[in-house]
């Protein structure tokens, strides 16, 4: 197992427990056992509009009847272009109820600053029978893209009378029926529609319940993560549905101007488990450290904190552990990380079992999952096999064939390494996207994901993320997104804008000294940064530079900021920080 030239296959000692055949079996169960319990809640003025399990099943069946009458089939899915909410949940589950795939598309494709041709391209590939749009503005932008598909903005318009037909369709749904078509973020190319079956979703929830049983106890979730992505829409929403829990829709986001909504929701609703990405946790920690009342509520019943989407910097984790020790000392709160892809529904590895893997690893295989570490040019690509793995891509035979190796393992395109080759139970270390990693002119590989994490940790909490550049050059440079409030504190200028802060001597010196300290401990040229340029704007959501879940799309960012990269890597310039 320690031969770096040979593939390594890892499996869990635990076999996978019972897996329901159909996702909507859970809704049928809870509608019978807990008809008056809250299923989904969304903000309605100062209060909450709620949907019970009993009402949910009634409305799902009626909507399923309507979308069948409108011509939706297994080959003509239902597209949803709407923010998270009760009506979105009803439409999505109505489609799954009657065996019609639902495709929740990112509302980013329908923003006013988005290229309408990107939306049109997705709709052309999907070819849905109908589109449910969250509001008239989104519907108008669908039509402006040139699409002639029927668009509905009222769920009442989708209700049908022939509920018996919908029930008969549900009786024909099985484990292999496609429940969703989820489009990838396009971080390594054109978005592809991932076929997500009932088996994938149900088996993932069984894995979660086995690994972290605390998630199954009367779960209450307060979640902002978009349902167009598998983390929010499959993983988190699925935890509530599988266990008869309550899912509170958080209309906030970890971005300026919207995070206040998240904090307001968390002041009212205490989650039993909480899921976020590093950017979201960093903003939350700032608020929890300032506001004891918020921290008291947040930690009052939380049993698990889960990070995904990217690794959690050590400094962020240390702050989280300190708060947990203060406000939840009477409970053993698990702070875990996990890993997966849209194609694995999403969970494939996680920090679970006894002894626990290293907290800063992506853990070990989940029950029922086999992980292959396949050699790839002196490193390993992580590949996955299991009931949670997609059968392929929507109407894309070439991409499907290319996605699997000769043994049927899904090739993820992520680079990894074993924390300890002699003891795989210590966990798997994430080494970034293979397509993002590059070689310096010396021939040395730069592991972009690991370097981004190390630099973010070195300069926390002043910086939020970096873009790494230097392909085929003799040195590494980084473009820096800094945290506005922390930069203002460093400069002593509470009202300064980003442009002024990017050139402020105090801010520049803080980042220079943090990166210099990182360099002092760097093992070689592949981890040493020689140049840094502070960006005077935030990541561009409209152009897809930042994904819906708050992570930087490294390749798209490099393309969009070609001029900044040229400045960074070119002749000495006053705006570029030179590092020893």
| DSSP result, 302-335 | --EEEE-SSPPPHHHHHHHHHHHHHH-TTS--EE
Q: Is residue 173 part of a domain?
A: no
Listed range (88-102, 193-207, 364-378) with the worst mean pLDDT: 364-378
Asked whether the predicted pLDDT for residue 436 surpasses 90, the reply is: no
Residues 499, 415 share a domain: no
CA angle 498, 112, 501 (to 5 degrees): 0
Residues 424, 480 share a domain: no
Distances (CA, A) of 190 to 116, 309, 366: 15, 19, 29
Mark which of 435, 462, 497 sits at the end of a domain.
435
Element (H, E) at 81: strand 78-81
For residue 1, the model assigns a pLDDT of 39
Of residues 577 and 277, more confidence is placed in 577
pLDDT, average across residues 422-438: 89
Asked whether the predicted pLDDT for residue 198 surpasses 80, the reply is: yes
Asked whether the predicted pLDDT for residue 247 surpasses 90, the reply is: yes
**Cα Dmax for the chain:** 72
CA distance 286 to 320: 10
pLDDT, average across residues 97-102: 98
Residues 524 and 442: beta-carbon distance below 8 Å: no
Q: Is residue 311 part of a domain?
A: yes
Asked whether the predicted pLDDT for residue 189 surpasses 60, the reply is: no
The secondary structure of 402-445 as a DSSP string is HTB-TTS-EEEEEEEEES-TT-GGG-EEEEEETTT-EE-TTS-E
Q: 554: closest CA among 466, 492, 486?
A: 466
Asked whether the predicted pLDDT for residue 315 surpasses 70, the reply is: yes
CA distance 417 to 212: 24
Cα-flanking dihedrals φ and ψ of residue 279, to 5°?
-60, -40
Strand positions, DSSP E, 190-307: 193-197, 220-223, 246-249, 273-276, 304-307
Strands 130-133 and 151-152: parallel
Q: 130: closest CA among 193, 69, 72?
A: 72
The secondary structure of 125-169 as a DSSP string is HH--SEEEESSHHHHHHHHHTT--S-EE--GGGG--S-HHHHHHH
Residues 488, 423 share a domain: no
Q: Is residue 428 part of a domain?
A: yes
CA distance 281 to 194: 28
238: helix, strand or coil: helix
535: helix, strand or coil: coil
Q: How many helices (H) and strands (E) does the chain have?
A: 20, 26
Residues 246, 278 share a domain: yes
Q: 389: closest CA among 218, 176, 112?
A: 176
CA distance 454 to 132: 42
pLDDT, average across residues 245-273: 95
Residues 407, 444 share a domain: no
Confidence band for 328, pLDDT divided at 50, 70 and 90: very high
CA atoms within 13 A on the CB side of 33: 11
For residue 3, the model assigns a pLDDT of 45
Tokens of 480: 């820096």
Distances (CA, A) of 524 to 45, 221, 451, 518: 55, 43, 12, 11
Give the total number of structural domains in the chain: 2
For residue 314, the model assigns a pLDDT of 85
pLDDT, average across residues 112-125: 90
For residue 310, the model assigns a pLDDT of 64
Residues 57 and 85: beta-carbon distance below 8 Å: no
Give the chain's length: 580
Residues 393 and 344: beta-carbon distance below 8 Å: no
For residue 365, the model assigns a pLDDT of 97
pLDDT, average across residues 308-312: 69
Of residues 552 and 125, more confidence is placed in 125
Strand positions, DSSP E, 141-204: 151-152, 178-183, 193-197
CA atoms within 13 A on the CB side of 197: 19
For residue 540, the model assigns a pLDDT of 82
pLDDT, average across residues 34-52: 97
Residues 389 and 410: beta-carbon distance below 8 Å: yes
Q: Is residue 450 part of a domain?
A: yes
Residues 309, 295 share a domain: yes
Q: Is residue 488 part of a domain?
A: yes
The pLDDT tens digits of the residues spanning 541-568 come to: 777 788 776 778 888 889 899 999 999 9
Asked whether the predicted pLDDT for residue 326 surpasses 60, the reply is: yes
Tokens of 278: 């590093």
Residues 572, 464 share a domain: yes
CA distance 5 to 384: 19
Asked whether the predicted pLDDT for residue 4 surpasses 60, the reply is: no
Q: How many CB atoms lie within 10 A of CB 213?
A: 11
Please state at what angle helix 53-69 crosses helix 25-33, rounded to 10 degrees.
Answer: 140
Which percentage of the chain shows pLDDT scores above 90?
77
Q: Is residue 506 part of a domain?
A: yes
Residues 481, 348 share a domain: no
Instruction: Give Cα 571 distance to the centre of its chain.
Output: 38
Residues whose CB falls within 8 Å of the CB of residue 9, separated by 6 or more in sequence, listed in order: 370, 371, 372, 373
| Radius of gyration from C-alpha coordinates of the chain | 24
pLDDT, average across residues 237-251: 98
Residues 286, 344 share a domain: yes
Confidence band for 156, pLDDT divided at 50, 70 and 90: very high
Tokens of 214: 């605390």
Asked whether the predicted pLDDT for residue 2 surpasses 50, the reply is: no
Of residues 450 and 565, more confidence is placed in 565
Residues 404, 346 share a domain: yes
Residues 519 and 579: beta-carbon distance below 8 Å: yes
- Dihedral angle over CA of 287, 292, 297, 300, nearest 10: 120
pLDDT, average across residues 311-316: 81
Confidence band for 190, pLDDT divided at 50, 70 and 90: low
Listed range (66-70, 122-126, 520-524, 569-573) with the worst mean pLDDT: 520-524
Residues 445, 429 share a domain: no
For residue 308, the model assigns a pLDDT of 75
Mark which of 407, 435, 463 sits at the end of a domain.
435
For residue 541, the model assigns a pLDDT of 76
Residue range of the domain that includes 277: 1-19+235-387+398-435
Residues whose CB falls within 8 Å of the CB of residue 200, separated by 6 or more in sequence, listed in order: 179, 344, 345, 387, 388, 389, 390
Rounded to two decimals, what is the model's pTM? Answer: 0.87
CA distance 51 to 30: 13
Of residues 228 and 13, more confidence is placed in 228
Q: Is residue 308 part of a domain?
A: yes
Domain of residue 320, CATH code: 3.40.50.12780
Of residues 318 and 543, more confidence is placed in 318
Q: Is residue 362 part of a domain?
A: yes
Q: What is the mean pLDDT of the chain?
A: 93
Of residues 539 and 323, more confidence is placed in 323
Domain of residue 489, CATH code: 3.30.300.30
Residues 448, 506 share a domain: yes
Asked whether the predicted pLDDT for residue 5 surpasses 70, the reply is: no
Q: 413: closest CA among 445, 389, 437?
A: 437
């Amino acid at each position: 197992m320690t031969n770096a030239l040979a593939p390594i296959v890892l499996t869990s000692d635990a076999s996978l427990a019972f897996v329901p055949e159909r996702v909507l079996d859970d809704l049928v169960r809870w509608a019978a056992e807990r008809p008056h319990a809250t299923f989904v809640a969304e903000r309605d003025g100062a209060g909450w509009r709620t949907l019970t399990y009993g009402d949910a099943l009634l409305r799902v069946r009626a909507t399923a009847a309507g979308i069948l009458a409108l011509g939706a089939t297994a080959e003509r899915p239902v597209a949803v272009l709407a923010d998270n909410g009760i009506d979105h949940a009803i439409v999505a589950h109505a489609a799954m109820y009657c065996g019609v795939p639902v495709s929740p598309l990112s509302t980013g494709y329908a923003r006013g600053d988005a290229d309408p041709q990107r939306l049109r391209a997705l709709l052309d590939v999907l070819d849905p029978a109908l589109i449910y749009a969250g509001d008239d503005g989104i519907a108008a932008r669908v039509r402006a893209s040139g699409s002639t598909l029927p668009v509905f903005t009222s769920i009442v318009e989708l209700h049908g009378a022939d509920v018996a037909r919908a029930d008969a369709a549900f009786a024909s749904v099985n484990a292999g029926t496609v429940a969703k078509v989820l489009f990838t973020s396009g971080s390594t190319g054109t978005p592809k529609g991932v076929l997500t079956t009932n088996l994938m979703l149900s088996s993932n929830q069984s894995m979660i319940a086995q690994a972290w049983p605390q998630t199954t106890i009367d779960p209450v979730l307060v979640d902002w993560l978009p349902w167009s992505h598998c983390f929010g829409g499959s993983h988190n929403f699925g935890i509530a549905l599988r266990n008869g829990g309550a899912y509170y829709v958080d209309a906030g986001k970890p971005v300026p101007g919207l995070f206040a909504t998240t904090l307001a929701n968390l002041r009212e609703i205490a989650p039993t488990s909480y899921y976020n990405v590093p950017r979201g946790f960093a903003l939350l920690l700032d608020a929890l450290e300032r506001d004891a009342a918020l921290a008291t509520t947040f930690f009052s019943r939380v049993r698990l904190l889960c990070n995904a989407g990217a690794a959690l910097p050590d400094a962020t984790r240390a702050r989280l552990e300190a708060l947990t020790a203060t406000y939840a000392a009477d409970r053993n709160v698990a702070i875990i990380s996990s890993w997966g892809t849209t194609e694995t529904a999403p969970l494939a590895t996680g920090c679970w079992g006894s002894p626990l893997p290293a907290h800063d690893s992506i853990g070990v295989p989940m029950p029922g999952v086999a992980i292959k570490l396949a050699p790839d040019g002196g490193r390993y690509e992580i590949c996955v096999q299991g009931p949670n793995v997609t059968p392929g891509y929507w109407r894309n035979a070439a991409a499907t064939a290319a996605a699997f190796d000769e043994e049927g393992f899904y090739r993820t395109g992520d680079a990894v390494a074993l924390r300890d080759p002699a003891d795989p139970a210590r966990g798997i270390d994430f080494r970034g996207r293979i397509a993002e990693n590059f070689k310096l002119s010396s021939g040395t590989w730069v592991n972009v994901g690991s370097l981004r994490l190390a630099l973010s940790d070195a300069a926390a909490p002043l910086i939020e993320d970096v873009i790494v550049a230097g392909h085929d050059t003799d040195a590494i440079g980084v473009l820096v997104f800094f945290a506005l409030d922390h930069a203002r504190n460093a400069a002593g200028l509470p009202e300064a804008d980003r442009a002024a802060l990017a050139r402020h001597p105090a801010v520049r010196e803080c980042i220079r000294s943090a990166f210099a300290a990182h360099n002092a401990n760097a093992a070689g040229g592949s981890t040493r940064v020689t140049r840094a340029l502070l960006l005077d704007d935030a990541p561009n959501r409209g152009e897809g530079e930042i994904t819906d879940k708050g992570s930087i799309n490294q390749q798209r960012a490099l393309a969009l900021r070609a001029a900044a990269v040229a400045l960074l890597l070119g002749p000495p310039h006053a705006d570029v920080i030179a590092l020893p």
